[in-house]
Chains A and B, each alone.
Chain A
Amino acid sequence: MAGTASGLFLRRFCTNTSGARKWSVAQVFRSNFADSLERLRADVSGSDFVAVSLRRTGSPSAPWHRISCFDTLETAYSKARHAAEKFQVLQFAVCPFEVGASKVVAHPYNFHLFPRDELDIKRPSYSFVCQSSHLASMVDEGFDFNACIYDGISYLSREQERLAKVWKGIAVHGKHLEKSSPSPSVADAVFLERTRSRIKQWKNAFEDSSTRNDEPLVRSMRKLILGSEEYGSRPSTTIDVCSQRQVQLALEVLAEFSEDLVPLVIPAKGAGAWVVRAILTSSKEDKILLEQELQNLEHEQTKAFQGFREVIELISGAQKPIVSHNSLNDFTSIYPMFLAPLPSNVDEFLRSLCLVFPQVYDVNHMMKEIAPLGKTTNIPTALSFLNNRFFAPIDVEVSPVTGSEGKIHGLNVVRISHLFVKLCSILRSAPESSQSDSSHQAGTLERFANIFRPWPSADPLDESISIWRNDTRRVNCKDVVFLWGFRKGLSTKMLKSQLQGSHRVFSENFDVRLVDKSCAIVIFWQPGLSDTLLSIMNSSDVSGPLWDLVSEGLKAAGYETYTKLCRLGLFEADLADAFDHNFANHDDYSLDHSTGKNYEIHSSSESMIYLEDL
């Protein structure tokens, strides 16, 4: 009996790439969350990297909503943000892995999330969009929606937790920050003085030894008059406040009595009033004891709030490098689950993300280093691609899981780990372990860290490792013009032939690419022509064949208008509608953004074909 058990154990432990079907992944729900979390904690601390993989309820359906090769980091972020706000993460796979000599030891966990409103505060998510085809394919893969919705783990971001504490009226140990304003207003002064005298009176009543021996009746009368209450075994009093400002003022007063008073801020529950409570302690030791007590209580109460966020806190706290397959999409989803709503600005996003996840690797980008034409965007094809062209045998060991037989769902994260290690070994930056030879490793791997832009910018090193003919041409986004208002269903070729010869700007070398059925990009290979086109389209002296096109409704806009559309979130189904919408409200938006930035965007005649079906 014991023999078979250990045999089974061994076999399962030693499964390698060939036995991928035998890998099993810990499936985590609300019911087994606490146990899994403890195991994950141990696994993460012993790991070199942590791979993550997210599954959402849908992906953008309109062609131009998807991140494309003509996107800059800024527009790509806007698009990713739009999708992240729309769709809900239902599955969050985490896989800490250790890297050995041509071996990966992976510990995959598949967390099922559901944004259940556990606290009745309409958080973490009031509603979310589902795409029926996406859900159907998830069911086909074996995803269990019943388990996910009945028993999925909920979560609150840090900011939501802070708000939840306020809404739920959870007492917070009041900390007086500093003297709020040098010259308090009259009303403030009145409030301060009134509070101060009340506290003094109340405190004196307890310190005054003469009253100790009063009759119970007198004591309770005094209690009533002074408004004294009990907090546990300690006496306390309540200060009513009616604004945040007064909370601060009350704390300012209480700070004057800090040697034996502990302030406690109790937020309004619903429509009630906020309250600041002062608790009287008998000694310094007693005060420390009380503060400790309060902190524990607070911690206990908020632990229930964060739910799945505890996993993200754990990963962030361990400061391990994160490996992801599509880092921009993944982290625009993780950010609002973890920190706060997504900022509108990509720089701000990256800055605050870097504070919590200092090192993020995107296997997709590393893959592009090897196959720059981007044909290998899904993981199995990328893996087989590498297997066919390189000799980099990496064995994968998946630590065995008890109690989830036959559930292989969520294996993607193991494949990401596998792909990452394989890529590292191919790119000669073997991430053996973080201890040995760390300086060398850091140098080679580091250049892949924290790249969130959709397409890696040209790098002199690119040429040196290019394996295929690299015909990627780059164009400055200033030389790009968006055209719309032509007849729908026009092919690229037909549009190009219509444009050719319609005006002298089209006599030079240019290319046309359809973004969706309503809008196209014209790429001028000679600088300056785009400005000419834009200015003649807006002037009245259009003539010849171009005039015919314009009179049929053809319109043009530069790249900065496109950037603006994305930033404002004008995600209409057709890009042409979005442009028209923007023009209709033209005056209302001021360009608060410097449009003079020179974005390098990436364009290649090859990728124009492939990337449309990403």
Chain B
Amino acid sequence: MNRRCPVRALSRALSRALTTTTATASQAPTPSTFPLKNVTGSNFEPALESLREHVRAADYVAVDLEMTGVTSAPWRESFEFDRYDVRYLKVKDSAEKFAVVQFGVCPFRWDPQELCFVAHPHNFYIFPRQELSFDDPAAYEFLCQTASVDFLAKYQFDFNMCIREGISYLSREQENELLRHLEESSCSQNKHKEFRDVPLISIADVLFSERIKNRMKEWHDELLHDRNCEQFNESSNDSKQQLQTIFYRTRPALALSGFTAHQLRLIQQVTRNHFEDIVYVCVNVQNTCVQPLLVYTDCNTDKDLLMKEVEDENRRGEELKIHSAVGFRHVIDLLSSEQKLIVGHNCFLDVAHIYRKFFGQLPFTAEEFVSSANKHLPYIIDTKVLLNSSDILKYWMRRSKTSLSSSFARLCPQIALGYTSTDLASKACVKVEVQVDDVRASSWNAGAKHEAGYDAFMTGCVFAQACSHLGIKFHPHSSEILAHDEILEKYVNRLFLSWNNQNIIDLSTGSVTGNSVGSTYFNNRYSKISFENIILIWGFPPKLRAREIKECISKVFGPTSVTSVYSLDKTTVFVQFKEAGLVSDFLGLKETLERNDDPISILNPLWKLLDGGNTCAADYETYKEICSSPVSKVYFSDQAWAVGIKWKTKLLKSDVPGEEGIQKQGDANLSPDNAGDSVLGKTNMKGKKSASDDIDRRSFSCGEILDSLCAHEAERVRTY
């Protein structure tokens, strides 16, 4: 008994010591936070190297981005009435205008020994800093959406860190452009190499030139007589700081320092005019500063050789600068070249940002975008699509929201909340361990939400858990197998183009479906919108509400003519008609009423909508056209004006054959009588309470019209 006690005590002490060490070691940076590698400009190089290893070994890589904003104007938000091509244009606009400030990359590797995933969460701070002075400064302007920046601030985003130490980047397109520019400028430099002498006006310039000439002559003569430079160095102590003898590529040279640009120009002039065998060159020193040198050359061929060497070296220096300015894009290049499965959550916008920031300009159509994005990133999986598409996963989600944090909490409670219960449910749980800088941890406090690194980690965990529920087996080095897994295959490369109307785009084929893969629960409410039934009205009198607009149109075209009216913003509505024919009827009537602009037009119930004379109407294609503009005004009506729409009604082609469909107000190329009669005739048929206004019915007395108006007004009063 006595003998066993110390042993037990020892083992207890040992185990305690062990646990404490692991605890402190695993939570190295600050014990209370989630272990996460924050990467800024200062530790980027080593972090990139270690990330390379992790990505190569990874089964999949989860990513997440934090941006400075999402929509550049309220009407650019996602709406139910957005067709997929319009939706793409909105995403394109967002990716072009806003900056990415944080990029989370989290490689996940299956550890077959421990039967768990090892995650390496990285949180990169990135900032579009202009590293190269000869780049276009307009490319380094970005938009901030006040609400988004405030949102980041709510989650304690470190803006100072991002701006001061954020890693800069160049897209492939920018890099190529810069290299091309470099090529061109070196070519043109060779061409225009004529020098013009600076006239020596001031006496100081004359004296300076003379002094320099003498000093150079001295140096030159000494070089020729006695090539012992040390001796020379000692003799010249007057301007030792400014002129120093060095060797440049085995040639004796004078390094010039402490001269002004003007003085250097004079020195250059003196060299050119008085010394055949001395060359003035500027060389890059350690890629940071430019060092002017006077180099002695033996003969003309040596001189040419020297010039070429200097040029090549400077060129290499510039290229190196461009190469180092590539910065964070190395991470994207890594993901692209390793062809790993990329996992994101609702990540269409993220993919568009990655494309715009690191590859090049976004194409104009969704199909083109998808096919070229797929070339760079061949396997992308969206956990939001996964969770909404699979019935098995829907069962596990138990109707909870599919936002990242709620699905993380629902699917991975053991990771999210640190449960280690031994009940049946947790048996199915995938174990995930986190490794940062060779320190592995299996328990931690929850990380900061909306920090890209932690969000990427959550996304990866949700994916791992989802795979496990779907019955996908993990193998060592299963990366390729994972992307081609027959269960998973139908979810790969399918992204939500718009979450609102559940449009899913297939990155490998470019096809857009309103329905999800293999789901039966899906809500298809909005997929039946036929866009040719929709018109867009803007610039109507302020204070007119959607309901009033609906009433006013129904009065003319019949009570069931309008299916719905949807406000885009306070200046603009979508009106969805029952049938496509009504669209051209409406536009025609509007045009006629405005053209006539007489007391009779004014009595038409539609006039209420046209009052003020700024009401514009157009079909759905115009909406697309306006969305594709780079301009972003806060209100849609201002936007339409800024885009250059100066007409008031866009008649459809079927109405005006031969015309472009765009017609300026007042251009009476419709036969006024016919068009007016037919449309107004329809008005009379359909508009029940409308004060009739056909020209033939002038017999209506003013009193009658007023009566009907009064009745209508009174009824309106009653309804409110």
Contacts and interface: CB of A to CB of B under 8 A. Distances in A.
A and B together in one complex: yes
A591 B713 CA distance: 42
B144 A128 contact: yes
A271 to B, nearest CB: 7
Contact residue range for chain B? 35 or more
A155 B642 CA distance: 27
Contacts of A191: 717
Interface in A142-181: 144-146, 149-150
Contacts of A146: 153, 158-160
Contacts of B146: 114-117, 125-128
B720 A145 contact: no
A133 B137 contact: yes
Contacts of B158: 146
B634 A132 contact: no
A554 B72 CA distance: 36
B160 A145 contact: yes
A133 B164 contact: no
B274 to A, nearest CB: 27
B164 A139 contact: yes
B646 interface: yes
Contact of A61 (B99, B137, B714): B137
Contacts of B48: none
A131 B150 CA distance: 18
A453 to B, nearest CB: 27
B163 interface: yes
Contacts of B29: none
Contacts of B152: 149
A63 to B, nearest CB: 10
A132 B144 contact: no
Contacts of A58: 141
Given A136-B163, A273-B720, A585 B644 contact: yes
B624 interface: no
**Most B C-beta atoms less than 10 A away, residue of A122, A135, A186, A573:** A135
B522 interface: no
Contacts, number: 119
A298 B99 CA distance: 41
Interface string B696-720: 0000000000100110011011001
Contact of A242 (B141, B632, B706, B720): B720
A440 interface: no
A127 B717 contact: no
Nearest to A244: B543
A537 B129 CA distance: 43
B163 A127 contact: no
Given A117-B146, A127-B144, A139-B163, A132 B127 contact: yes
Given A116-B150, A136-B164, A144-B160, A127 B129 contact: no
B710 A126 contact: no
B141 A130 contact: yes
B713 A186 contact: yes
B149 A187 contact: no
Contacts of B141: 58, 61, 129-132
B130 A243 contact: no
Contacts of A190: 710, 713-714, 717
A297 B720 CA distance: 29
A606 interface: no
B137 A127 contact: no
A70 B709 CA distance: 59
Contact of B153 (A57, A149, A585): A149
B74 A122 contact: yes
A126 B72 CA distance: 8
B306 to A, nearest CB: 28
**Most B C-beta atoms less than 10 A away, residue of A132, A187, A242, A569:** A132
Contacts of A129: 141-144
Nearest to A491: B192
Contact of A117 (B142, B144, B147): B147
Interface string B2-20: 0000000000000000000
A139 B160 CA distance: 7
A41 interface: no
A62 interface: yes
B145 interface: yes
A35 interface: no
B710 A127 contact: no
A127 B145 contact: yes
A585 B634 CA distance: 23
A38 interface: no
Contact of A187 (B144, B150, B714): B714
Contact of B717 (A61, A88, A187, A573): A187
B166 to A, nearest CB: 9
A131 B714 contact: no
A128 B143 contact: yes
B545 interface: yes
Given A61-B141, A133-B137, A145 B73 contact: no
A144 B163 CA distance: 10
Nearest to B147: A117
Contact of B150 (A144, A149, A573): A149
Interface string B332-361: 000000000000000000000000000000
B460 interface: no
Interface string B454-481: 0000000000000000000000000000
A128 B142 CA distance: 8
**Most B C-beta atoms less than 10 A away, residue of A88, A131, A138, A149:** A149
Interface in B114-156: 127-130, 137-138, 140-147, 149-150, 152-153
A149 B74 CA distance: 22
B102 to A, nearest CB: 14
A126 B74 contact: yes
A116 B147 CA distance: 7
A125 B145 CA distance: 8
Given A145-B160, A149-B150, A243-B543, A187 B142 contact: no
Contacts of B632: 127
Contacts of B545: 271
A588 interface: yes
A150 B72 CA distance: 22
**Most A C-beta atoms less than 10 A away, residue of B145, B163, B642:** B163
B73 A588 contact: no
Contact of A127 (B69, B153, B160, B713): B69
A189 to B, nearest CB: 9
B138 A61 contact: yes
A126 B717 contact: no
A569 B72 CA distance: 18
A132 B99 CA distance: 10
B138 A62 contact: yes
Contacts of A144: 160
Contact of A133 (B130, B150, B160): B130
Contacts of B159: 145-146, 149
A130 B160 contact: no
A405 interface: no
Contacts of A569: 642
Nearest to A58: B141
A240 interface: yes
Contacts of A150: 153
A140 B163 CA distance: 9
A133 B543 contact: no
A309 to B, nearest CB: 17
Given A140-B164, A187-B709, 18 more contacts: A114-B150, A117-B146, A126-B74, A127-B73, A127-B632, A128-B144, A132-B99, A132-B140, A132-B141, A138-B163, A139-B160, A145-B160, A146-B159, A149-B149, A185-B713, A186-B713, A187-B713, A585-B646
5 contacts: A135-B163, A139-B160, A146-B158, A187-B717, A240-B720
Minimum-distance CB pairs A-B, first 4: A187-B713, A145-B159, A61-B137, A186-B710
Interface of A: 57-58, 61-62, 88, 114-117, 122, 125-133, 135-136, 138-140, 144-146, 149-150, 185-187, 190-191, 194, 240, 242-244, 271, 273, 569, 573, 585, 588
